[in-house]
Structure 1
Amino acid sequence: MYFPFIFDITMLILVPGLIFAAYAQGKVSSTYNRYLRVPNTRGLTGAQTARHILDRNGMTQVNIELVGGKLTDHYDPRKRVLRLSNEVFNGRSVAAVGIAAHEVGHAIQHQQAYGPLKIRNAIVPVVNLASKAAWVLFFIGFFFQVTGFMDLGILFFSGSVIFNLVTLPVEFNASRRAVVQLADNGLVLSDERVGVKKVLDAAALTYVAALLMSFLQLIRLIALRGSRD
């Protein structure tokens, strides 16, 4: 019996993406842990850093909350809340201030109606629904040889590729804003700025990996679709 979603020759298409994803994850972990042990000269916590930058940019209404987990930091545009993990919220490391500033970068994007962020936020609900339906439709179409279902599944899954593509400029821009804000507000020294950039550049690799994996998965679905012709 043929099980295309367990293993088949098209799984080899994903190998480059899996290798790069493993590299990206390892790079993030090693770089983050390295600069988590390096204290910032001003002795600021991530929460204090975020509050300072937010206030300096006229966003006193944006609250900062503690969230569980590791590297779970994010900005919620719906509630206008910045959520920081414990190591960032209470940490006084170079990594903590860098990540906190990056998340504030997203808040600044929101305030300034940054185009790519608006697009990403707008398509999130549609992409979430479409990506879940994509596999069901393709699975049904593949086993029952209904090409229309397979094509619809591929179309729906392409939304994930588009989402990951739009995410790249959003994340890169937030990192650039973070470095600028930290420097302009005198929150880090020049050598600490180098460390911040290394942490954020490493984190950015995970988004590149996500885009690569979604693109390769799309190619795999197209290959599986072709095998049914």
Structure 2
Amino acid sequence: MFSLEITKDYQELSERAAELVVKQLKKKANSVLGLATGSTPLGCYEQLVKLYKAGELDFSGVHSVNLDEYRGLAAEDKNSYRHFMDENLFSKINIVKEHTHVPDGMEENREKACKDYDAEILSVGEIDLQILGLGLDGHIGFNEPADFFSKGTNCVRLTDETIESNQRFFRSKEEVPREAYTMGIGSIFSAKKILLLVSGKAKAGILEKALKGPVTPRVPASILQFHRDLTVLADEEAASALS
């Protein structure tokens, strides 16, 4: 079972998501947060920064693990997910930089990169709250539709749909990396709590499949139906296909 909260719009969704993060940090100051990138969680991060600047939040004891990173992009690259997190959250709060973990996109050895990141995840302990977005093809992290659910960190070949969706962040489609390192479904699923954020009419169909359809690796997010503590925050447009 999962908890579904429908918000009026994206702004309300972002405010509510931040409230749930605050609730987690008030409960456990040294929480491990699993973080996502992309446009959907951005509003939540903006709210968290606002609350931190108002003196209502302390991130000094927090550890974070990010879902993914493009293979081949350095941390300093403006299109890397490390840069995204530094720019939109980490540099604006008092989190210890050494406590923030993102896969190493510059590690050319795929097997080593995946093993190293799995070791980093294990080193910080169990993820207390994992924030997720939802891809148009049902991916979570960069776990694309496949024939099986991945267990640990893996290197994935991005689908054309994902490349096209992400090209808005680059100058051209050709600049979008074709591969990424991503936390595995097994690692995501092991989080104590999961918060799935979904916004916009374009996500309505895939959200309905993820929550109401059969559990299948062809819709990676569908595995979340089995999670012990899943909260779904969807705005009215994203929830429009749910009965």
TM-score (ref. length: structure 1): 0.26
- Whose strand fraction is larger, Structure 1's or Structure 2's? 2
TM-score when scaled to structure 2? Answer: 0.25
**Greater share of residues in helix:** 1
- Whichever of the two has the greater Rg, that structure is 1
